[in-house]
């Protein structure tokens, strides 16, 4: 049975560079036989958080939120592709993530960050680690930092020169780590139900 991995991306900018990295993640996971799907916060279009999914009476959540809740519950793991805004989190991705809580529980998450600079969004990467852990996910130890993004991937998400080769190496380890934890979580849940 193929693993199901959701790849979340959160930039709302008109000239989005990180979408290259999100596309790369999806395509590379699919090449490994994983059922990977891009969840683009801008395309989902949830408003600024007013009510979480769980705060709506059953069957009354907005359609986009209801559909995404089902996808999250059905996933084996998650990848969060995040840019770094002023040393912090990308607000569009954070807003999308905050609409849900229990739906995330007991699955692994990995963080892939990027920036225009050489640190590749490392500060946002660290900030996401604590947030995803608090939301009930097991955050894997492997991370990926891509930067400068324009010198790492072309506009089709294909690796460029030395920076692209470095991304390929780090993403291979990252994907191995994520899929190992996704399988471990699936087997454990089949053996014993989560405690809550």
Give pLDDT tens digits for 168-182: 999 999 999 999 999
The values of phi and psi at residue 93, to 5°, are: -70, -40
Q: How far is it, in rounded angstroms, from Cα 149 to Cα 83?
A: 10
Predicted TM-score (pTM) of this structure = 0.97
pLDDT tops 90 at residue 196: no
For residue 11, give the nearest of 106, 96, 86 by alpha carbon. Answer: 96
Please, are residues 112 and 139 in contact by the beta-carbon 8 Å criterion? no
| Range 4-191 classified under CATH 3.30.70.330 | no
Return the residue matching tokens 């608090």: 134
Identify the pLDDT of residue 195: 87
Q: How far is it, in rounded angstroms, from Cα 78 to Cα 63?
A: 21
Strand order in the sheet with 77-83: 35-40, 4-9, 77-83, 108-114, 138-146
What is the average per-residue pLDDT within 1-23? 95
pLDDT tops 70 at residue 1: no
Please, are residues 105 and 136 in contact by the beta-carbon 8 Å criterion? yes
In tens, the pLDDT along 57-96 reads 999 999 999 999 999 999 999 999 999 988 899 999 999 9
- DSSP symbol at 10: -
In tens, the pLDDT along 107-134 reads 999 999 999 988 999 999 999 999 999 9
């Amino acid at each position: 049975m193929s693993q199901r991995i959701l790849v979340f991306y959160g930039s709302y900018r008109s000239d989005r560079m990180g979408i290259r990295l999100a596309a790369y993640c999806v395509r590379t996971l699919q090449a490994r036989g994983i059922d990977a799907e891009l969840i683009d916060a801008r395309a989902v279009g949830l408003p600024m958080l007013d009510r979480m999914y769980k705060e709506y009476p059953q069957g009354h959540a907005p359609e986009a939120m209801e559909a995404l809740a089902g996808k999250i519950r059905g996933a084996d793991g998650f990848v969060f592709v995040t840019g770094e805004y002023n040393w912090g989190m990308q607000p569009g991705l954070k807003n999308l993530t905050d609409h849900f809580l229990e739906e995330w529980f007991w699955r692994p998450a990995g963080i892939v960050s990027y920036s225009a600079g050489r640190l590749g969004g490392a500060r946002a990467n660290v900030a996401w680690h604590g947030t995803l852990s608090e939301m009930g996910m097991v955050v894997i130890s492997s991370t990926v930092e891509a930067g400068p993004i324009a010198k790492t991937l072309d506009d089709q998400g294909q690796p460029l020169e030395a920076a692209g080769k470095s991304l390929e190496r780090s993403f291979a380890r990252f994907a191995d780590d994520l899929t190992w934890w996704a399988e471990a979580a699936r087997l454990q849940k089949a053996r014993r139900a989560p405690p809550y």
